[in-house]
Structure 1
Amino acid sequence: MRYLPHSDAERAEMLGVIGATSVEALFSAVPTRALKTFDLGLPAHSPEFLVEAHMRALSAKNHSGGDGPFFVGAGAYRHHVPASVDHLIQRSEWLTAYTPYQPEISQGTLQMLFEFQTQVAKLTGMDVANASLYDGSTGTAEAVLMARRLTRRNKIVLSGGLHPHYRDVVKAYLKDDADLECLSASPEGQGDILDHIDEQTAAIVIQTPDFYGHLRNLKTAADAAHAKGALLIVVITEIVSLGLLEAPGAYGADIVVAEGQSIGNALNFGGPYLGLMATRKEFIRQMPGRVCGETVDADGQRGFVLTLSTREQHIRREKATSNICTNSGLCALAFSIHMALLGEAGFTRLARLNHERASALADALGKVAGVELLNKTFFNEMTIRVGKPAAGVIEALAQRGILGGVPVSRLEPDDPDVTNLIVLAATELTTDADIAALCAALSEELQ
């Protein structure tokens, strides 16, 4: 057995420490039929430094976002995260209880969560926010369930511009519910979701900027939904956009869900990420997740506690608003610290820089033969149509060391109309040299 010490003396010593007379006695509780009787083929153990060298060699095969021109977006964005964020999240003030049910020993965590909620509520223009969810996609599904509870209706209409991953997560939560209507998307601009609202509709779900980068008219959608007694759920995958765009709450949104990865959290090869949720004050008791509130202690000193906590694991599963049972606390801390470092003016400058870089990218792409820009509006993300299947073009660019975006066919493999479409994003980290390299490579690949 390779997981035991190799020498008889070492094995006997270990067995003696744990009080077992033999290896067979150690595993006596395991049914004989469940024991493996053959060699698993695992390599023998190696010294730590050799394992580290092996893992470094494997890691070197990765092409990270900072290794060359990078235009990938579609729900996860490469932004600059100051080194001070990583330093501050490791300070002892935050290393309090993981689950802060005991406020007397968790004030650092609770104060951070309270400030985080305040930031999210201000960003979204809503009354209240929770202390985060897993990510934007599961947050969208939670918002849909919340809308059903609030309206006591079942029909949900998903805009065609909703990110395909978010759509699929909602479908998984609802188990292909017959009352879930998923509209088809047009990359040149979305169809009219308003025609699908009726008296049975609990909510409509609209992403802005949408998956293809288009900005959406939220005021008209909110008015149409409210006229039928339905709610408007707004989804935002690029939270930096709120540095320039008016907050969804100002347009009448009822629930706002967002992915917070862009602030304080690097790409990290796919996670962990951070789900943001905010809503109107009258809906707070149906909002899933934790809520942190401000109070005073017995001496009148300011303090923080979890509030409205009769939820999740505290009560019967079928009565709970959600069963997430946790939150992305470390990611929320990184978000809150980065946002505090930026400040309101800095956040606005960051958003403006993102749009300026995207505008430069759009202008350059417009001069490349064989490339058609499909967006009339965008923040920092856009869609192009190329003269060849997009997946092959993206692979060819990757061979040149350029991560040129996301072929839509990767996310919508069953839709033949998206075969030649690429979604690209530019951020404050996108340089003129990056844009020139992309356009030059596209020109050659599309000849």
Structure 2
Amino acid sequence: MSGGRRLANFGQRLIGRRYWSRYRFRTGNDVRLFSSGDAYFAALIERIDAATRIVTLETYIFADDEAGHDVSAALLRAVARGVRVRVITDGIGTARLPMFGDWQAAGIEHRVYNPHLFGRFGFSRTHRKLAVVDDTYAYCGGINIVDDYDHNGTRLHYPRWDFAVELRGPVVADVRVAFDLQWRRIRLGHRPKPTPETEATDAQGVTDEFVRARRRVRSGDVRAAGEPSVAFVARDNIVNRRAIEKAYLTAIGQARSEVLLANPYFMPGRKLRRALTLAARRGVDVRLVIGRKEFPILDYAVPFLYRSLLRAGVKIAEYEKTMLHGKVAVVDSNWGTVGSSNLDALSLVLNNEANVVLVLDRELDQLRGAILAAFAESRSIDAAHYEARPLSEQFVNWFMYQGYRALMKLITVGGYD
């Protein structure tokens, strides 16, 4: 099959799926992938220092360390020259920092999402990592404002494995709308009524760009149908609760040759596990890179899921070189996602999350290479050794999985399956 026809078929399969109406695809964007906090912070600070109108930033962790101080200093410089600066931090992810007093005195607007463990928004957290500068540049990914080598006060031997993207183009407007909605939600204590602008982002049918692309596919204009596209996917615990999960489900369901997935908290529901096993059984090369050594309960619970995946032919590797924090995937070298959403109950059902979906973008080659490299550096799970585990270890895996599942069903009010 020719490259052009392959791209056209891929695009046609995607735009034909009903779920894509949850968000809009945008063409005409520039995408830049970052694989370290150092590179991401340098780019973000450069854009903030050039800002003339407005800077918005939302993060789960804003650390009181060198990285946090550098970003904070850039925000203070911006507000000092008359730029409006708005920052959202999470009430649990970020402590009450001394720098917050400096922000208030300088005129930075700062709001805290759900200041207590259980608050106006239940157990929900804002786990998103977003920034928008002058409505020209937007950022989305898994990188918090924290030193690459810091992990809960201990020094990592290698930098944290994580990703973010810089976006420039029409998709920036969708990131800004999501931030503005969250900003108003915190003030009001509930989700604001949608405006025409937010309705266009959250509930519009297939976008004009992809409607036109579908017509081009049907008319045989293959080259136009293969234009790179970006979609910004935001979810919260009120609406679009399954938007990110459905993005994964559709891409994996349409996979023909390869699924590469890396995630630190791999505890998906039955639908996503079933999609992975079905893909492997139809001959797709499915590889999972799973993080470890952050939450002991997951280190013991996650291996319970390996049996059905390994039996279907899924290849699994546990990454222990450093802290794996990236939440990324690439399917058939044509589809990929970078964002904040782990594949567990909290991220898929409860927390506020944000991912970008890239289709036919050139940055997918770099992302694919990074996942393959991490897989090669990880400890492969051998099916024979896995089945030969002591009965005591098997029981611990089963018990911890059942306990985790019961707890998640409780705090998500039955939303986790």
Q: TM-score range by the shorter chain?
A: under 0.3
TM-score, normalising length from structure 1? 0.24
Q: Which has the larger Rg? A: 1
TM-score, normalising length from structure 2? 0.25
More strand by share: 2
